[in-house]
C-alpha cells in the first residue's frame, strides 16, 4: 500500500503516513560522530560543574544566577550553536543541536531560561530580522551579553494568540510606535534585555517587534509563584506608552502570525528533545533507588511491579528518542537542500522547521507525555520519600507539568497535526486520497493469506496496517465532511483520536528503523533487549490504535458503514500476542545492571 523511499528520496513532512522508510534513511543517536560526542561531553561537564552544585540556589532564583549561567554558556559557544558564524554563532549541524538540547534536558528550571533565550528569543530575529537587526542583536544574544524573552501570551489570548489586545500606534512623524498592553507568563522577563513582542498596529495588524526591555513605559509584575520550574523567571510585562523605533518592526506589518507560529515549530521540537534528555535522568534516579532500597530482605528492583515501571519508562523514552533523532536528520537534510538551492542559513532553518511542523508537534506531545509518565512512576518507586521536597523526585514531578502547556498545549498540537495533514493534502504536497481509496478497495476484498517471513516481518506488517487504520479513519471522516454530514472543526474528539494514532505510528516506525539499524552496529545491549522493547511497544500501540480508531469511527459512522469500518479495523490489528512480562523484565534487568539508562 505504501510506497518505499528510493535512495535519493527524502521523506517530506507528514509523508510517514503514506510512505515507508528504510533503516539506512534514518539517523540514530548511536551514530553520533567524534565531534558531536565532544560537544555532548562539554555540555555534560557544564551541567556537572556549573549547574549541579548550585541547583538549590537556582530554585530560589538568586539574583544573577540564571543570566550568569547563560553568559558562561555563551562563552563556550553553546548559545550560538544554531546561529551563523557571521553573527558570532558556532553554526553547528542540526544533530549536534539536538544533542545539546537533550543533554540540557535534566538541567531543571534553568532549562527554561536556556530554551526561551536560544529558541523563541533568538530565532524570530534570525528567521525574520533585517540584516541590520541581525547584526545589531544576534552577536550579543550569542555571547550572552544580551538575554532574550518572548512576549506573546496575554490574559485573554493563550492558544488563540491572534486575539491579542496589545496595541501599537505609529507616531505622527512616523519615527516610532507607541505600545500599550499587557503580556503574561513571560519566561526570562525578570532579567531580559530584549523582548520579542507581538502587538496589533492600529488595533488590527498583528505584528512583531524587537523591543529594548529597558524602554521607558515598560514595567514588570512580580515573579509568579508557580507549581514547578520555580527557578525560572516568569513575570507579566506591561506596556504604557512605550516608544519603539519604527525600524524595530520584525518582519512584515500584519504578518506577525508567521513569526509566532514558525518560531514555535522549532520550539516544540526542542522541547520534545529536552524532555527526552530529562527522562533519561529520571530513569537514572529511579533505577539507582530501586537498586538501593531494601524491602523484605532484597532490593525493590527485584520485584516485578517495580521492573514493570522501570522498563516501561525506558521503552517509551527509547521510542521518543528514536523519533527525535529521525526528525533531526530530516530537518538537517531539508536545511541542506534549501541552502544548496540558494536560501540563507536562517531561511533554510525556517523552511526545514515548517516542512516538519507535524513531526515537531508529535515530538512535543510525545516527549512531554512520556515525561509525565516517568516522573509519576519515579515518585511511586520512591514511595514516601518521593513526596518529600528533600529529594529530586518531587521537584521533577512538579517541573514536568508545564511541558504539556507551553509551546502550544498538547490539545492544540494534536489538532494542529491533523489540520496540517489535511492542509498539505489540499495544497497537493501530500497525496492521502489515493492511499485512502486503496484502503477502501482493500476492505471490499478478501484478506490476504500471505505468510509473513523474515526478521521484523510482523512489525513491518503492523506498521503498514497502522497506516491503513489512520487512512481509513481520517479518510472516512473527511468523506463525511465533504458530504456535509460532519464538520471536523466541531469534532475535536475525533481529531484527538487521529492525532494519537499518528503519534503511535511515527514513534513505532522510528523505533523499528532504529532497532533494525542496530542489528549490524556496536551497541550498549544485546539485540534481544532492543527487540524486547520494540515488541512491547508494538503490542501496546496495537491496543491503543484499536481503541482510538474505534472511538473515532463510532463518533461519525453507524449502521452498516460502522460495521464495515470495524471489520476493517479487526483485519488491520493482527499483531501477535507478546509475553510482555518476560520482555519488560529483560529491559528492566539491563537498567538495573547498568544502574541507570542503558541504551
Question: Which position among 407, 459, 491, 509 bears the catalytic label?
Answer: 407
Counting beta carbons within 10 angstroms of the beta carbon of residue 276, is it exposed (0 to 12), middle (13 to 18) or buried (19 or more)? buried
Mean pLDDT of 46-51: 98
pLDDT above 90: residue 314:
yes
Coil, strand, or helix at residue 76? Answer: coil
In a domain, 326, yes or no: yes
User: Looking up cell 490574559, which residue turns up?
Assistant: 155
Percentage of the chain with pLDDT > 90? Answer: 92
Domain at 562, CATH number: 1.20.140.10
DSSP string, 216-251: TTEEE-PPP--SS-TTS-EEEEEEEEEEEEGGGEES
User: Looking up cell 509568579, which residue turns up?
Assistant: 224
**Which residues have a Cβ under 8 Å from the Cβ of 527 and sit 6 or more positions away?**
518, 519
**Which residues have a Cβ under 8 Å from the Cβ of 341 and sit 6 or more positions away?**
none
In a domain, 21, yes or no: no
pLDDT at residue 8, rounded to an integer:
53
Nearest to 334 by CA among 412, 417, 265, 268: 265
Coil, strand, or helix at residue 121? Answer: helix
In a domain, 25, yes or no: no
pLDDT above 70: residue 165:
yes
Nearest to 197 by CA among 234, 230, 238, 226: 238
Indicate whether 128 and 208 sit together in one domain.
no
Q: How many domains does the chain have?
A: 4
Residue 581: pLDDT band with limits 50, 70, 90: very high
Domain at 96, CATH number: 1.10.540.10
Residue 589: pLDDT band with limits 50, 70, 90: very high
Indicate whether 140 and 157 sit together in one domain.
no
Reported as a single tens digit per residue, the pLDDT across 258-278 is 999 898 899 999 999 999 999
Residue 444: pLDDT band with limits 50, 70, 90: confident
Counting beta carbons within 10 angstroms of the beta carbon of residue 382, is it exposed (0 to 12), middle (13 to 18) or buried (19 or more)? buried
Residue 158: pLDDT band with limits 50, 70, 90: confident
Q: What is the chain's Cα-based Rg? A: 25
pLDDT at residue 4, rounded to an integer:
63
Domain at 238, CATH number: 2.40.110.10
Mean pLDDT of 360-379: 98
Measured CA to CA, the distance from residue 75 to residue 77 in angstroms comes to: 6
Indicate whether 118 and 107 sit together in one domain.
yes
Give ∠ CA 171-177-179 in degrees, rounded to 5. 120
Reported as a single tens digit per residue, the pLDDT across 554-578 is 999 999 999 999 999 999 999 999 9
Bridge partner residues of 201 (DSSP): 168, 205
Q: Would the CA dihedral through 484, 490, 496, 497 be positive or negative? A: negative
Indicate whether 402 and 543 sit together in one domain.
no
Indicate whether 589 and 536 sit together in one domain.
yes
Reported as a single tens digit per residue, the pLDDT across 176-219 is 999 999 999 999 999 999 999 999 999 999 999 999 999 999 99
In a domain, 18, yes or no: no
pLDDT above 70: residue 119:
yes
In a domain, 275, yes or no: yes
pLDDT at residue 123, rounded to an integer:
97
Indicate whether 217 and 273 sit together in one domain.
no
User: Looking up cell 498583528, which residue turns up?
Assistant: 206
Residue 5: pLDDT band with limits 50, 70, 90: low
pLDDT at residue 261, rounded to an integer:
87
Q: Would the CA dihedral through 301, 302, 304, 308 be positive or negative? A: positive
- Strand 205-212 and strand 249-250: the pairing is antiparallel
Coil, strand, or helix at residue 253? Answer: coil
Q: In whole angstroms, what separates CA 274 from the centre of its chain?
A: 8
In a domain, 301, yes or no: yes
Q: How far is CA 130 from CA 137, 149, 151, 211, 249, in A?
A: 11, 19, 20, 15, 9
In a domain, 588, yes or no: yes
User: Looking up cell 524587537, which residue turns up?
Assistant: 210
Reported as a single tens digit per residue, the pLDDT across 55-109 is 999 999 999 999 999 999 999 999 999 999 999 999 999 999 999 999 999 999 9
Residue 541: pLDDT band with limits 50, 70, 90: very high
User: Looking up cell 507616531, which residue turns up?
Assistant: 171
pLDDT at residue 6, rounded to an integer:
57
Q: Would the CA dihedral through 129, 132, 135, 137 be positive or negative? A: negative
**Domain stops at, among 381, 412, 443:** 412
**Domain stops at, among 230, 256, 282:** 256
pLDDT at residue 300, rounded to an integer:
98
In a domain, 45, yes or no: yes
DSSP state for residue 48 in the 8-state scheme: I
The C-alpha cell at 127 is: 528567521
User: Looking up cell 528533600, which residue turns up?
Assistant: 390
Q: Is position 407 annotated as part of the catalytic site?
A: yes
Indicate whether 217 and 96 sit together in one domain.
no
Range of the domain at 249: 149-256
Q: Which of 6-10, 96-100, 233-237, 582-586 has the lowest mean pLDDT?
A: 6-10
Percentage of the chain with pLDDT > 70? Answer: 99
The C-alpha cell at 366 is: 510525545
The C-alpha cell at 37 is: 560526542
pLDDT at residue 10, rounded to an integer:
83
Indicate whether 91 and 166 sit together in one domain.
no
Residue 497: how many other CB atoms lie within 10 Å: 26
**Domain stops at, among 147, 178, 193:** 147
Contact 196, 150 (CB under 8 A): yes
Residue 1: pLDDT band with limits 50, 70, 90: low
Measured CA to CA, the distance from residue 266 to residue 147 in angstroms comes to: 19
Indicate whether 133 and 188 sit together in one domain.
no
Indicate whether 406 and 268 sit together in one domain.
yes
Indicate whether 440 and 486 sit together in one domain.
yes
Measured CA to CA, the distance from residue 518 to residue 157 in angstroms comes to: 46
pLDDT above 90: residue 14:
yes
Indicate whether 435 and 575 sit together in one domain.
yes
DSSP state for residue 388 in the 8-state scheme: S
Residue 161: pLDDT band with limits 50, 70, 90: confident
What is the rounded average pLDDT for all residues in the chain?
96
Coil, strand, or helix at residue 148? Answer: strand
Measured CA to CA, the distance from residue 277 to residue 503 in angstroms comes to: 19
Amino acid at each position: 500500500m505504501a510506497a518505499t523511499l528510493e535512495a535519493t528520496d527524502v521523506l517530506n513532512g507528514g509523508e510517514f503516513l503514506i510512505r515507508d522508510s528504510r533503516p539506512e534513511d534514518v539517523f540514530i543517536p548511536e551514530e553520533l560522530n567524534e565531534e558531536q560526542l565532544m560537544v555532548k561531553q562539554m555540555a555534560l561537564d557544564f551541567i556537572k560543574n556549573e549547574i549541579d552544585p548550585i541547583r538549590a540556589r537556582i530554585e530560589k532564583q538568586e539574583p544573577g544566577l540564571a543570566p550568569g549561567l547563560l553568559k558562561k554558556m555563551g562563552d563556550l559557544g553553546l548559545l550560538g550553536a544554531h546561529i551563523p558564524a557571521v553573527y558570532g554563532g558556532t553554526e553547528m549541524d542540526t544533530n549536534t543541536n539536538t544533542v545539546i538540547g537533550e543533554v540540557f534536558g535534566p538541567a531543571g528550571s534553568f532549562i527554561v531560561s536556556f530554551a526561551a533565550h536560544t529558541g523563541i528569543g533568538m530565532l524570530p530575529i534570525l528567521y525574520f530580522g533585517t540584516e541590520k537587526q541581525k547584526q545589531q542583536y544576534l552577536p550579543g544574544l550569542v555571547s550572552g551579553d544580551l538575554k532574550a524573552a518572548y512576549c506573546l501570551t496575554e490574559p485573554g489570548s493563550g492558544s488563540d494568540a491572534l486575539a491579542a489586545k496589545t496595541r501599537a500606534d505609529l507616531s505622527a512623524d512616523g519615527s516610532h510606535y507607541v505600545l500599550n498592553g499587557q503580556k503574561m507568563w513571560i519566561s526570562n522577563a525578570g532579567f531580559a534585555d530584549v523582548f520579542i513582542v507581538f502587538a496589533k498596529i492600529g488595533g488590527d495588524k498583528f505584528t512583531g517587534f524587537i523591543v529594548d526591555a529597558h524602554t521607558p513605559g515598560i514595567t514588570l509584575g512580580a515573579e509568579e509563584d508557580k507549581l514547578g520550574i520555580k527557578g525560572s523567571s516568569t513575570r507579566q510585562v506591561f506596556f504604557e506608552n512605550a516608544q519603539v523605533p519604527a525600524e524595530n518592526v520584525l518582519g512584515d506589518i500584519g504578518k506577525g502570525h508567521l513569526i509566532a507560529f514558525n518560531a514555535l515549530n522549532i520550539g516544540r521540537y526542542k522541547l520534545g528533545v529536552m524532555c527526552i534528555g530529562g527522562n533519561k535522568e529520571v530513569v537514572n534516579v529511579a533505577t539507582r533507588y530501586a537498586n538501593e532500597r531494601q524491602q523484605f530482605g532484597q532490593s525493590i528492583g527485584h520485584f516485578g511491579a517495580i521492573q514493570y515501571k522501570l522498563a516501561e519508562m525506558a521503552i517509551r523514552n527509547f521510542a521518543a528518542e528514536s523519533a527525535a533523532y529521525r526528525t533531526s536528520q530530516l530537518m538537517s537534510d531539508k536545511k541542506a537542500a534549501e541552502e544548496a538551492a540558494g536560501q540563507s542559513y536562517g531561511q533554510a532553518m525556517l523552511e526545514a522547521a515548517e516542512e516538519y511542523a507535524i513531526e515537531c508537534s508529535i515530538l512535543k506531545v510525545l516527549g512531554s507525555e512520556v515525561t509525565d509518565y516517568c516522573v509519576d512512576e519515579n515518585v511511586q518507586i520512591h514511595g514516601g520519600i518521593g513526596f518529600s521536597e528533600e529529594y529530586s523526585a518531587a521537584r521533577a514531578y512538579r517541573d514536568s507539568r508545564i511541558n504539556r502547556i507551553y509551546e502550544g498545549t498538547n490539545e492544540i498540537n494534536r489538532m494542529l497535526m491533523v489540520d496540517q495533514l489535511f492542509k498539505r493534502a489540499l495544497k497537493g504536497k501530500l497525496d492521502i486520497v489515493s492511499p485512502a481509496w486503496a484502503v477502501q478497495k482493500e476492505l471490499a476484498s478478501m484478506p490476504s493469506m500471505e505468510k509473513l517471513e523474515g526478521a521484523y516481518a510482523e512489525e513491518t506488517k503492523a506498521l503498514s496496517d497502522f497506516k491503513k487504520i489512520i487512512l481509513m479513519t481520517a479518510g472516512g471522516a473527511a468523506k463525511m465532511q465533504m458530504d456535509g454530514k460532519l464538520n471536523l472543526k466541531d469534532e475535536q474528539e475525533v481529531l484527538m483520536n487521529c492525532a494519537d494514532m499518528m503519534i503511535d505510528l511515527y514513534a513505532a516506525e522510528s523505533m523499528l528503523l532504529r532497532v533494525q539499524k542496530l542489528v549490524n552496529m556496536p551497541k550498549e545491549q544485546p539485540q534481544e533487549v532492543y527487540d524486547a522493547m520494540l515488541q512491547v511497544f508494538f503490542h501496546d500501540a496495537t491496543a491503543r490504535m484499536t481503541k482510538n480508531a474505534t472511538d473515532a469511527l463510532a463518533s461519525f459512522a453507524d449502521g452498516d458503514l460502522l460495521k464495515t469500518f470495524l471489520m476493517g479495523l479487526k483485519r488491520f490489528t493482527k499483531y501477535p500476542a507478546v509475553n510482555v512480562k518476560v520482555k519488560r523484565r529483560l529491559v528492566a534487568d539491563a537498567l538495573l545492571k547498568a544502574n541507570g539508562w542503558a541504551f
